[in-house]
Structure 1
Amino acid sequence: MEKELHFERSEFATRVTSVKKEMEKRDIDTLLLSEPANANYLTGYDAYSFYVPQMVVVALDREEPIWVGRGMDGISAFMTTYLSDDSIRTYADAYVQSALSPYDFVAEIVKEIAGRKTRVGVEMGGYYYSARAHSDLMKALPEATFIDADLLVNWIRLVKSPAEVALMRQAGRIAEAMMYRAVDTIEPGARECDIAAVIYHQMMAGTPEFGGTYTCSPPYLCVGEKALAPHAAWTDKPLLPSTIVNLELFGNRHRYQVNLARTICVGKPSPNYQKLADVVVESLNAGLDAVAPGKSAEEVHAAFAKTLAKHGHEKDSRLGYSLGLGYPPAVGEKTVSLRKGDKTVLRPGMCFHMMSGLWLENDGITITQPFVVTETGHEPLTKIPRQLFVK
């Protein structure tokens, strides 16, 4: 049976070693990872199975992590990970959505590999670690000490390897293809749902060289009055002859995602709106010019904010966030934000979405840029023009 690994075994080994070093610093013997992105990062596991409990267990004195999941998903663990058979543990379907707790099964594995009095790290802020999960694990491991290890792996993921950056570049090309397809489709009378449909088609089709896959959230197609809302849903209404379309979409390649947003004006924009677009692009470029290794996240934000303020505007939400490996419901790594007060120092290999969108009282506009930090500055992950598109 063919394996579907997208990285060399040595890269996975490096990742596991980095995680274990951080575990030792925090006095954690056993780490339980519930977030699908973190499980993928350490093992390669990829399947749409995270709607039921599944975990990756990392023990300091065990070479390989252990994947734990539903019985029928064990085949996906075999196909998409480098793990040996003993490192793939599956529970019976009787545990699925029943009175039985799969975390009792997880607890038995913890006791087997680390004993009853182990110090257990768990992702307390994870999307997939519920209050019930924590309660069941504490009940099943009464002698263990539980430690909040939320974002432990996320911070390690922050700096991408060259192989990861290569996938981010491919995701950027998919995002570009999606945006160009959307711009071509948008015209007066086109239904919002039909625009969404062609975006989804391009999302999966990708480029002639490589295909895409499902993303961490649906595209945001914000039309007319909904252009004032950053995360609105589309309808089946036709576009009016004169309207604004704010579109944020995502290219995803082997779970590595690049976010991209543009504003499309159906009909000639007003002079004031065109000026607003020019101001956003000028401020965006100023922020990008400030990106360099050794600079802090807040310094990049300050360069953008200074230019924006020169024109009498202020952005009250963060300017950007780290990007990379992700699963629904969101791609953000929940680590670095480009905002005032974030003193994280930029390093080559970090990837961001500079989300320079403005949602003002009467206008909304989104012209953004994903990028990777390089040794000398930044590399755009998409090359679509940073401008207001007019149809």
Structure 2
Amino acid sequence: MTVLTFPVLEFHERMTKTKQRMAAEGIDVLLVTDPANMNYLSGYDAWSFYVHQLLIVMIDEDQPYWIGRGLDANAARHTSWLDEDHTFPYADHYVQSTIRHPMDFVVDFLKERKWDQKIIGMEFDTYYFTAKSYIQLTKGLPDAKFKDGTNLVNWIRIVKSDQEIAYMKKAAKISKKAMEAAFEILNEGVRESDVVAAISHAQISGTEEFGGDYPSIVPLVPKGEKTSACHLTWTDDVFHAGEPVIIELSGCYKRYHAPLARTAVVDAPDEEIQRLSEVVTEGVNSALDVVKPGVTCEEVELAWRQSIERNGIKKESRIGYSMGLNYPPDWGEHTASLRPGDRTVLEPNMTFHMIPTIDLGHAGMEISESLRVTETGVELFNNFPQELFVKPNIRLA
């Protein structure tokens, strides 16, 4: 039984937009290897991205072709809207072989359909398209012309449908529950791993109305001086009184995310951490105040930068990025960024994770918001206090 996450009509609309963009780029055939883009165009959803898989989009066909490992063909039948004529599994002897490669199967597939002299777009800069894949395709298709199709589908994904927004709002409810679970267990003497276990339980159990999915990024919990290294995961070290911890996480529903980051401290923060939290909160809200259709990404970042510089702090890296549907290792969409020079114009139903980390070298601070651009301004996905969380110290016996 096939259970689709979106109506077939919505998939057709996505395909139409993809083919229009292909036509504008002069691409006849698009090889889609990013699992998020595969999901977006077909509905396909399985933990199978550790082997080679892809969709082939033809500019003059309504449905894409799914190609993947034979063991995963039934997953395509269960989760995608594609018919049997557009589902093509390859034999298991292609998997992790030293004498053949799954892209050899793709080469034969394209040659059989006389598509081997077309202009073929490929997602060159994705996590799942390997150098070996490129070598096998170019070697096997000497008469084809190859073009870079990286992010072609991603830019279509940047404006969400109402159903996608609904899924992200559910993800946000899970994010809130997971952060509350972290704060509840956080205490002096508690291990980092136990806090993350509480977060993970909340992420997967979800709410009484709906369960959660696995997120694209595991919980991040750097503490103490390691808060200056925001992408550290967890250890079995324990928390100490007065020691800040950054907690970054996301709920996930139907592969859609609504990330949330907060900084917490057990007992009482020192004066520097408290002040830093106030600077970040002021800067975040200064940036949120300018978000609306017609504003550019760089204008949003400028509002943040001007705010923190008034407080004597400078930050060089971007403060946010478009996000939503994705698979490990990243919930970002790899399109628009909130940073100088990005002149992407905001439109209704674009969604971003605004996460302006400040790093002082010996300490860091994160207070983030996931947001939707509305018709007139901005809507936050997460209804969570925007402040440094201070946990009263209940010393363990």
Equivalent residue for 2:181?
Answer: 181
**Aligned: 1:131 with 2:131:** yes
Gaps of 5+ in 1: none
Q: Distance in 1 between matches of 2:105 and 2:189?
A: 55
Residue 336 of structure 1 aligns to a residue whose secondary structure is strand
1:29–1:114 contact (8 Å) kept in structure 2: no
Question: Which residue identity does 2:316 align to in structure 1?
Answer: D
Instruction: Letter of the 1:96 partner, please give it.
Output: V
Q: Which amino acid aligns with 1:77?
A: A
1:211-232 CA deviation, whole Å, 9 max, x = no partner?
1111112111111121111111
1:167-192 residue CA offsets vs partner (Å, 9 max, x unmatched):
11111111111001101110111111
1:113 shift after superposition: 3.4
**CA separation in 2, counterparts of 1:310 and 1:183?**
31
Aligned partner of residue 128 in structure 2, secondary structure: coil
Q: Deviations over 1:66-91 (max 9, x none)?
A: 00000010000000001000101000
What SS class does the counterpart of residue 335 from structure 1 fall into? strand
Distance apart, 1:233 and its partner CA: 2.2
User: Does residue 83 in structure 1 map to residue 92 in structure 2?
Assistant: no
Which residue does 2:388 correspond to in 1? 388
1:272–1:29 Cα change, 3 Å: same
Task: Provide the residue aligned with 2:153 in structure 1.
Answer: 153
Higher mean alpha-carbon deviation, 304-313 vs 104-113, is at 104-113
Determine the structure 1 residue equivalent to 2:374: 374
> Is 2:224–2:363's contact at 8 Å kept on the other side of the alignment?
no
Q: Secondary structure at the match of 1:222?
A: coil
Per the alignment, residue 35 of structure 2 pairs with 36
1:237: Cα distance to partner? 1.3
Map of 1:162 onto structure 2? 162
What is the CA–CA distance in structure 2 between the aligned matches of 1:113 and 1:387, rounded to whole Å?
59
- The reply on whether 1:309 has 2:312 as its aligned counterpart is no
Rounded to whole Å, the distance in 1 between the matches of 2:274 and 2:238 is 24
| 1:355 corresponds to 2:355 | yes
Separation (CA, whole Å) in 1 of partners of 2:233 and 2:339: 27
In the alignment, which residue of structure 1 is the partner of 2:118?
118
* Secondary structure, counterpart of 2:177 in structure 1: helix
Query: What's the CA shift string for 1:234-290, capped at 9, x where partnerless?
Result: 111111122111111111111111211000011211223212111110110110011
Q: Deviations over 1:20-51 (max 9, x none)?
A: 00111111111000100000000000000010
Cα distance in structure 1, aligned partners of 2:274 and 2:12: 51
Distance, in Å, in 2 between the alignment partners of 1:189 and 1:358 is: 27
Residues 1-391 of structure 1 correspond to what in structure 2 (within 5 A)? Answer: 2-98=1-97, 99-391=99-391
Query: Which amino acid is the alignment partner of residue 356 of structure 2?
Result: S
Kept after mapping to 2: 8 A contact 1:59/1:113: no
Q: Is the 8 A contact 2:215 2:250 kept in 1?
A: yes
Q: Distance in 2 between matches of 1:177 and 1:113?
A: 51
Distance in 1 between residues matched to 2:368 and 2:241, nearest whole Å: 25
User: How high is the TM-score relative to the length of structure 1?
Assistant: 0.98
Measure, in 1, the Cα distance between the counterparts of 2:111 and 2:18.
Answer: 21
Residue type matched to 2:74 in 1? I
User: Which whole-Å CA distance do the structure 2 matches of 1:313 and 1:113 have between them?
Assistant: 59
Distance in structure 1 (CA, Å) of the matches to 2:303 and 2:113: 51
Query: Which amino acid letter does the alignment assign opposite residue 313 of structure 1?
Result: I
CA shift for structure 1 position 210? 1.0
Amino acid at match of 2:181: R
The Cα shift of 1:318 comes to 0.4
Q: In structure 1, how many angstroms separate the alpha carbons of the residues matched to 2:377 and 2:115?
A: 48
Worse-matched range after superposition: 225-234 or 52-61: 225-234
Post-superposition shift, 1:361? 2.2
> What is the CA–CA distance in structure 1 between the aligned matches of 2:338 and 2:193, rounded to whole Å?
33
| Equivalent-residue separation in structure 2 for 1:237 and 1:365 (angstroms) | 20
Deviations 1:311-330 (A, max 9, x none): 00112210100011101111
Whether the 8 Å CA contact 2:219–2:248 is kept in 1: the answer is yes
- Shifted more, 337-346 versus 362-371: the winner is 362-371
Q: Secondary structure, in 3 states, of the residue corresponding to 2:257?
A: strand
**Is the CA contact 2:241–2:265 (under 8 Å) kept in the aligned structure 1?**
no
CA distance in 2, matches of 1:347, 1:113: 39
Q: How many pairs align?
A: 390
Check whether the contact 2:226–2:362 (CA below 8 A) recurs between aligned residues: no
Q: Following TM superposition, by how much is the alpha carbon of 1:370 offset from its aligned partner in structure 2, in angstroms?
A: 0.6
CA offset at residue 141 of structure 1? 1.1
**What are the ranges of 5 or more consecutive residues in structure 2 without an aligned counterpart?**
392-397
| Kept in 2: contact 1:30–1:114 (CA 8 A) | no
The TM-score normalised by the length of structure 2 is: 0.97
Alpha carbons 1:321, 1:332 under 8 Å: kept: yes
Task: Write the deviation string for residues 108-152 of structure 1: whole angstroms up to 9, x where unpaired.
Answer: 222233532111100010111111000001111111111111110
Q: Does the 8 A contact of 1:219 with 1:249 survive in 2?
A: yes
CA contact 1:57–1:67 (8 Å) conserved in 2:
yes
Paired with 1:286 and 1:367, the residues of 2 have a C-alpha distance of 13
Task: Give the distance between the partners of 1:109 and 1:378, measured in 2 at CA.
Answer: 46
